[in-house]
Amino acid sequence: MVVRVKVRIKAVSTGSSAEVVALANSGYETETPEIAMPRNLADRLGLRPQEASRDFYMTAGGPIEVLRFPEAIEITVLAGDREEGPVLADAIVMETDEVLLGDKVLGALKLDLVDPARGLWRFRDEPSDVLRQSAEREHPSSP
């Protein structure tokens, strides 16, 4: 089990948005707030490859080339009874089948991963006895 949360991702340039389930990945270390997303979601949001810079990321599987869209999206956590955000973030387009939230975005959205093994989390400003359950993973073709 891991922690996944429902989020709204909105492209700053186009105003297009999508609601998806994203993986809260504290091991995805970044310099600035950023999220990784599959190309089909970037296309849906209207992010155009010619407006991106190319970067190389080191992953567990080795280096990969990604497209970086600086400060291109706003992300908001949708928790049913509460929304947190929006946070301005870089969009990283890469080969992935789900949206990944980097460590700086997790912090900016006040997400506290209480027990990832059991899928439990809360917002940092909530009492310690408040535990939220991970969202279900979406089918890879959903985003």
- pLDDT higher than 70, residue 140: no
Q: What is the pLDDT of residue 142?
A: 46
Terminal C-alpha separation, the chain: 20
Q: Which two tokens stand for residue 76?
A: 């908001």
- pLDDT higher than 60, residue 72: yes
Greater confidence (141 vs 124) lies with 124
Q: What is the pLDDT of residue 138?
A: 85
- pLDDT higher than 50, residue 143: no
Which contiguous run of DSSP H or E holds residue 44? helix 39-45
Q: Work out the percent of the chain whose per-residue pLDDT is above 90.
A: 83
Domain boundaries, the chain: 4-133
CATH topology of domain 4-133: Cathepsin D, subunit A; domain 1 (2.40.70)
- pLDDT higher than 60, residue 126: yes
Mapping DSSP to helix (H, G, I), strand (E, B) and coil, where does residue 33 land?
A: coil
pTM of the complete model beyond 0.85: yes
Taking only the tens place, the pLDDT of each residue in 89-117 is 999 999 989 999 999 999 999 999 999 99
CA distance 118 to 129: 15
Q: Range with the lowest mean pLDDT among 4-18, 44-58, 75-89?
A: 44-58
Q: What is the pLDDT of residue 25?
A: 85
Q: What is the pLDDT of residue 60?
A: 79
Contact 109, 99 (CB under 8 A): no
CA distance 1 to 56: 29
Backbone φ, ψ for residue 3 (5° rounding): -100, 125
CA angle 28–91–86, rounded 5-degree value: 90
Taking only the tens place, the pLDDT of each residue in 18-36 is 999 999 987 888 899 999 9
